[in-house]
Amino acid sequence: MTQTKTNLELARDMYRSMDAHAFASVEAFVSPRFQASMGGQSLDFPSWKAVGTMFYQAFPDGRHVFDLFEGAGDYVVSHGHFTGTHQGAFHGIPATGKVVKCSLTMVDHIVDGKLVRHFGDFDSAGLMQQLTA
């Protein structure tokens, strides 16, 4: 199996674990030197996990849906959307029961079988519009 294929499988398994709310499993995929860049912020693993936990508390059926999932060497690039039902408070907005969908693009850098860097970009403005419309 090529390294690119192995990295694709690792990234796919990691996002499946996230969607299953299995953050202990997610941590097994992550390097001790992990750093995430999201929304202009740099996050370590505990902070990244806290953001994910907040999302899944608000959208417990939330899941990643990928239209593009490609690997190149140590990098996995994914593009698609996150979708879920707003069932818990999110940034001060009480549960609306609305099903939301926001686009996302991510780049994951995997070295020696561990996620070292995560670059995530998602349509936060679109998400908030869906919740408040």
Q: Which SS3 state, helix, strand or coil, does residue 132 take?
A: helix
Q: Which residues are CB-neighbours of 44 under 8 A, at least 6 positions away?
A: 34, 35, 36
User: Residue 117 — very low, low, confident or very high, per pLDDT cuts 50/70/90?
Assistant: very high
Six-digit token string for 67? 């239209």
Question: Quick count: other Cβ atoms within 10 Å of Cβ 91?
Answer: 10
Residue 8 has pLDDT above 70, yes or no: yes
Residue 97 has pLDDT above 90, yes or no: yes
Six-digit token string for 111? 């070295």
Could you say which DSSP state residue 29 is in? T
Q: What is the pLDDT of residue 85?
A: 98
Give 34-42's long-range contacts (Cβ < 8 A, gap of 24+): 34/114, 34/115, 34/116, 34/117, 34/118, 35/116, 35/117, 35/118, 36/117, 36/118, 36/119, 36/120, 37/117, 37/118, 37/119, 37/120, 38/118, 38/119, 38/120, 38/121, 39/120, 39/121, 39/124
Which pLDDT tens digit goes with each residue over 25-47? 999 999 999 999 998 899 999 99
- Percent of the chain whose pLDDT exceeds 70: 99
User: Residue 2 — very low, low, confident or very high, per pLDDT cuts 50/70/90?
Assistant: confident
Residue 1 has pLDDT above 70, yes or no: no
Q: pTM value? A: 0.91
- Which domains does the chain show, CATH number per domain? 3-132 (3.10.450.50)
Which pLDDT tens digit goes with each residue over 41-75? 999 999 999 999 999 999 999 999 999 999 999 99
Q: What angle do CA 85, 83, 130 make, to 5 degrees?
A: 70
Residue 92 has pLDDT above 90, yes or no: yes
